[in-house]
Chain A
Amino acid sequence: MSNLSVDHLLGIKYLIKSDIDLIFKTADNFKKIINQPIKKVPSLRDITIANLFFENSTRTKLSFELAEKRLSADVINFASASSSVTKGETLLDTVNNILAMKVDIVVMRHPNPGASVFLSRNIDAKIVNAGDGTHEHPTQALLDAYSIREKYGEVVGKKIVIVGDILHSRVALSNIYCLQKLGAEVKVCGPSSLMPKHLDALGVTHFSDLKEALEWCDVANVLRIQLERQDVNYFPSLREYAMVYGVNKEVLDGLGKEITIMHPGPINRGVELSSDVADSKHAIILDQVENGVAIRMAVLYLLAGKIKN
């Protein structure tokens, strides 16, 4: 229980419950550290971390970079838009070139599902998946579950509905794995055209009606419509989507209870979430961002402990 069962964080699928508990326990301490007057600890001062972002990211990249710097690691950043990848270099060549500079941990975001698994089999460094296509985004799921634990004291027995584009969402898949491993009940809600084919295999059922879903849940994790990943039209218009699946004050006021609203960001205000809900006391969106740094510090710290001199 005092060590992770895995050598890389490739996805929540590969973790066992005690791994998640250990990450949460470690993150509790890092959350205190990042609220101290001096927010930096020297734990990873002899570790070099490469952040390889083959796909755009703002908050995940900032959050990882801040977590790395708070742990005193040396950090190098790479963004594919400004690199030799555009000149035709393969992923393995790019990464091997970076590793030749003696990098211990690679944090990678890549548009292809399974890219981080591929990397972990071919190179000698610890890999942290920061999102691989429509597959997994494990640190996001960990920080989401951690935020639920912080709000309610525990995750077990809680009812969570994930609303929106489940088909294209790595956040949804990682959240389903993570919350189920922690004993929560997870359902999804959104237009049928944005639901993956094999939902049953994940043990998840689907609500078509938003109000029904919100009546059922304790927490609603609302996702963004990923227009950049949609190759065809899955619904008539954003306006219609917002009318049917947009979470707004009116819908929440109509419920017989209070629920917690989460969003992994970036929010499309007025589409999946209205401004008054996003800024209300029911939303824990900014807590999620703060917890993201603590969770990423915990993951990097625990993986670095496995690198022997």
Chain B
Amino acid sequence: MIEARKILNQKDIQITIERLCQQLIENHGDFKNTVIVGVQPRGTFLSNRIIGKLKQLLNTSDLESGSLDISFYRDDLRRRDEPIVPEVMDMNLSLEAKNVVLIDDVLFTGRSIRSAIDALMAFGRPKSVELLTLIDRRFSRDLPIQPNYVGRTIDAIGSERVIVEWKEVNGKDRILMVKSD
């Protein structure tokens, strides 16, 4: 039997994104030396929302951003049945001496973020890299990676899955925890 539990609904997600943006503004001010990078494919839905909200809050249309494909930097190419099919990379910028905010939806083992940090370095040597995630599944990390900005921290066991749905793809925003036994 599959059991689904809602963690965040549309309103919660909206409030959480607004809070995360305020925290980012606290640390990055006018974002003149900051680049926002979403991890493809799912992190870009969140980064697009955050960029939209920041533009509104800062009253600017000038925010540097990119979408990062991490397929070729992953460590599990030969451990899968199917090859990792790459997503679109949109990084028409240099990260040299910039502050980078890396954005992904769910932080789980930390392996994707390790790959993402590797991939980032191909675009220059950033001054700093911070991590923002909507959901932090603590206690399930394989690598020593922690987020700087967290939407919601949850405790989940291995058989549980966190599903993030976005209006753009699934018709509405919500985050579910699915347990199968």
Interface residue tally of chain A, by bracket?
Answer: 20 to 34
B side interface size, CB within 8 A? 25
List residues of chain B with CB within 8 A of the CB of A22: 85
- Contact of A38 with B121 in the complex, beta carbons under 8 Å: yes
Instruction: Judge whether A308 is part of the interface by a CB distance below 8 angstroms.
Output: yes
Residue of B nearest to A33 (CB): B72
Contact partner of B78 (CB less than 8 A), chosen from A33, A38, A41, A307, is A307
Most buried by B among A3, A22, A39, A71: A3
Excluding A2-B82, A22-B85, A33-B122, 9 further A-B contacts by CB distance (< 8 Å) are A2-B85, A26-B85, A29-B72, A33-B89, A38-B121, A43-B74, A301-B72, A308-B79, A309-B78
Q: What mask results when residues 26 to 58 of chain A are scored 1 for a CB within 8 Å of chain B, else 0?
A: 100110110011111111101000000000000
- Ordered by A's residue number, 7 sampled pairs between the chains whose C-beta atoms are within 8 Å are A22-B85, A37-B122, A37-B123, A301-B77, A305-B77, A307-B78, A308-B78
Residue of B nearest to A303 (CB): B83
Instruction: Judge whether B143 is part of the interface by a CB distance below 8 angstroms.
Output: no
Contact partner of B89 (CB less than 8 A), chosen from A32, A40, A301, A306, is A32
Instruction: Judge whether B86 is part of the interface by a CB distance below 8 angstroms.
Output: yes
- Contact of B85 with A36 in the complex, beta carbons under 8 Å: no
Decide if the interface of chain B is mainly helix, strand, loop or mixed: loop
- Contact of B69 with A29 in the complex, beta carbons under 8 Å: yes
List residues of chain B with CB within 8 A of the CB of A40: 122
- Contact of B77 with A41 in the complex, beta carbons under 8 Å: no
Instruction: Judge whether B139 is part of the interface by a CB distance below 8 angstroms.
Output: no
Q: How far is the CB of A150 from chain B (nearest CB, A)?
A: 16
Residue of A nearest to B90 (CB): A32
List residues of chain B with CB within 8 A of the CB of A59: none
Docked complex: A254-309 residues within 8 A CB-CB of B: 301-302, 304-309
